[in-house]
């Protein structure tokens, strides 16, 4: 069965960091009632470049509650040199219409969690956790310990930090792998996201770890977590593999 497509208008472009753009899309009139998603899911964007149709996947970065209130779907796009979608959206002006499909993906939160919840993302891989913020605060209020571990190379590449920093009930850590001068008082840590596992007092019997972003990071984290005794069912992941066509 063909996947249903939704026409959307690019309503806003916003520079989030030195290498990341936030794109806001609005469903064309009459379509918004047909589209809904669960926090953590992604959409596919269809782009026509020089007569060829390309398909690219992006996590939805705003919450379903925000979408219901504003009608906007936000995604964060990190630039890839000479990438088809990267170049398309660098040039695109608000007002253009494209098709999207979705939502897809199973990186979603269960209703209740037994132990602590650790959400690990590198680069735009933290976008799905931003979509989960209303759910995360509910879980935290119910007594679940929630920590968001974000990884970037440099501070100037970081995105959405303030959205997590203002949540008093949700802990966050920012891992900067190539930044020399760290601000420990702003929850910055040196090195990679997986370096944080040791100090999180993880319990492989109860805790659930979410991993999202670059495939190499996810493989490294899974290896470490398995060595720590985590069963596969307690590790959820979304790899940002690129299609290359």
Ligand X SMILES: Cc1cc2nc3c(=O)[nH]c(=O)nc-3n(C[C@H](O)[C@H](O)[C@H](O)COP(=O)(O)OP(=O)(O)OC[C@H]3O[C@@H](n4cnc5c(N)ncnc54)[C@H](O)[C@@H]3O)c2cc1C
Is 53:81 a contact under the CB 8 Å cutoff?
no
Q: Considering the rule CB under 6 A, would residue 215 count as an interface residue with ligand X?
A: no
Q: Which of 23, 27, 76, 149 binds ligand X (CB under 6 A)?
A: 76
Residue 129 makes contact with ligand X by CB under 6 A: no
Query: Of 137, 111, 107, which is closest to residue 125 (Cα–Cα)?
Result: 107
Q: Quote the strand ranges of 79-132, DSSP E.
A: 97-104, 117-122
Give the chain's end-to-end CA distance (angstroms, integer): 22
CA distance 137 to 139: 5
Should residue 11 be labelled a site residue for ligand X when binding is judged by CB under 6 A?
A: no
According to DSSP, residue 28 is labeled P
Which stretch in 10-18, 31-39, 70-78, 173-181 sits in contact with ligand X by CB under 6 A?
70-78
* Sheet strands side by side (includes 117-122): 188-190, 171-176, 146-152, 117-122, 208-213, 235-239
Burial code of 54-86, b = ≥16 C-beta within 10 A, e = fewer?
A: ebbbbbbbbbbebbeeebbbbbbbbeeeebbbb
Is 100 a binding residue for ligand X by CB under 6 A? The answer is no
Interface residue with ligand X, options 6, 25, 58, 197 (CB under 6 A): 58
User: What's the closest the beta carbon of residue 168 comes to ligand X, in angstroms?
Assistant: 27
User: In three state form, how does the secondary structure of 195-242 look?
Assistant: HHHHHHCCCCCCCEEEEEECHHHHHHHHHHHHHCCCCHHHEEEEECCC
Nearer to ligand X, 20 or 116 (CB): 20
State which residue, 181 or 245, has the beta carbon closest to ligand X. Answer: 245
Piece in contact with ligand X (CB under 6 A), picked from 54-62, 151-159, 167-175, 218-226: 54-62
Which one among 84, 117, 139, 146 touches ligand X, defined by CB under 6 A?
84
**The only residue of 22, 41, 124, 158 in contact with ligand X, by rule CB under 6 A:** 124
24 scored as a contact of ligand X (CB under 6 A):
no
Q: Which residue is nearest to ligand X (CB)?
A: 83
Comparing CB distances to ligand X, the nearer of 92 and 228 is 92
Under the binding rule (CB under 6 A), the answer on residue 210 touching ligand X is no
Q: Which residues bind ligand X (CB under 6 A)?
A: 42, 56-59, 75-78, 80, 82-86, 124, 127, 238, 240-244
């Amino acid at each position: 069965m063909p996947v249903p497509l939704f026409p959307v208008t690019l309503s806003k472009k916003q520079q989030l960091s030195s290498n990341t753009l936030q794109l806001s899309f609005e469903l064309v009139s009459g379509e918004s009632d047909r589209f809904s998603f669960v926090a953590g899911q992604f959409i596919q964007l269809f782009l026509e470049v020089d007569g060829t149709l390309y398909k690219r996947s992006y996590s939805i970065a705003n919450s379903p509650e925000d979408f219901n209130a504003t009608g906007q779907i936000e995604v964060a796009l990190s630039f890839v040199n000479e990438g088809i979608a990267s170049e398309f959206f660098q040039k695109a002006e608000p007002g253009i219409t494209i098709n999207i499909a979705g939502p897809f993906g199973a990186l979603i939160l269960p209703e209740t969690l037994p132990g602590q919840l650790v959400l690990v993302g590198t680069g735009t891989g933290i976008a799905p956790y931003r979509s989960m913020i209303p759910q995360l605060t509910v879980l935290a209020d119910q007594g679940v310990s929630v920590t968001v571990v974000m990884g970037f190379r440099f501070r100037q590449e970081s995105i959405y930090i303030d959205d997590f920093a203002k949540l008093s009930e949700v802990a966050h850590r920012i891992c900067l792998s190539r930044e020399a001068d760290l601000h420990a008082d702003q929850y910055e840590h040196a090195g990679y996201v997986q370096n944080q596992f040791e100090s999180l007092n993880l319990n492989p019997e109860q805790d659930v770890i979410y991993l999202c972003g670059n495939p190499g990071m996810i493989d490294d984290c899974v290896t470490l977590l398995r060595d720590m005794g985590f069963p596969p069912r307690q590790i959820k992941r979304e790899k940002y593999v690129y299609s290359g066509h």
